Amino acid sequence: MENTQTAGSRDMELINRLARRKLSPEEVYTFPVVLCDNETDRDFERFSIPALERLAELFVGKTGIFDHDPKGRNQTARIYSAELVSDPGHTTRSGEVYHCVRAKAYMMRTRSNEDFIREIDGGIKKEVSVSCSAAKKVCSICGADKRRKGCNHVKGRMYGGRLCENIIGEPTDAYEWSFVAVPAQPAAGITKALADGRETEIKALRRELTEQRAEIDKARADLIAEIVRLGQFCVPAYTAEAVNALCAGMTVDELLTFKEQTRKLVKTARINSVLQSGDEAARKPVIGGFKLKK
């Protein structure tokens, strides 16, 4: 978040397009905010880059409220400009160059919101979430538009080493943006201006984190592929899809343990003996404490 300062002439020109009377710089408080981006969110959904470009247009003039509660008394700020920006040094989980909608908002300086402005300046009120509608929600695995027809892929699960996500496209409207405690998109929120040296440091750290995440993802994929290979020695039903579903929530350490347990079970042929038993309950194998669904 930028330090409190007088809005510039260009800012005031844009703000006054929304105001009923001409406002002075001393009357308004402005702050930048990241509304949304193309990173995978907590619900395993993400915006397409063209969708973000359209949202940057739709959100200009939209009101900022609290907790998506659409009551007039909750209106606190308004977007007066927005643009799509990218960071070539930052790659998303899906492998795209990071893009976000970076906006500027303003509110009137009044006695009633003095404390709220202090909370923004102090970094207490920071996280935001957006409310919008879109015509498309596409499966990242098969490309099916889930708003028109379904598919068998479940978001959040891995399929052949790929994470299933819903890709939101073709926004039709932007309703509002809200201050919230826990946004669906972790990076959405009020930002602050950094000195050039600090920006360079942040970008370097982002590149390092991106590289580390890529290495972890590759290690996970290699471990899962090895577990599939080991299991298929004895268990025809031990398919890549079943193993991916089983391993989706495991850490790398848990996968290493699971692989070692699978190796031992293969050597002792315990998997075959369980699957060939007449006990239906026993045919749902329990492998080293991890239950494998049919």
Distance, in Å, from the CA atom of 211 to the CA atom of 203, rounded to the nearest integer, reads 12
Q: Please list the alpha-helical segments (H only) found in the chain.
A: 9-18, 49-58, 114-121, 196-231, 240-247, 252-268, 270-275
Q: Does the predicted model carry a pTM greater than 0.75? A: no
Please write the tens of the pLDDT for every residue from 53-88: 999 999 999 999 998 887 878 889 999 999 999 999
Q: Is the pLDDT of residue 101 over 80?
A: yes
**Which of 7-11, 36-40, 62-66, 204-208 is predicted least confidently?**
204-208
Q: Is the pLDDT of residue 3 over 60?
A: no
Q: Is the pLDDT of residue 276 over 70?
A: no
Please write the tens of the pLDDT for every residue from 150-176: 788 998 999 988 999 999 999 999 999
Q: Would you state the pLDDT for residue 142?
A: 93
The more confident residue out of 251 and 277 is 251
Pairing of strands 166-179, 63-66: parallel
CA distances from 24 to 9, 34, 108 (A): 10, 25, 10
Please state the domain extents for the chain.
Answer: 9-193, 207-291
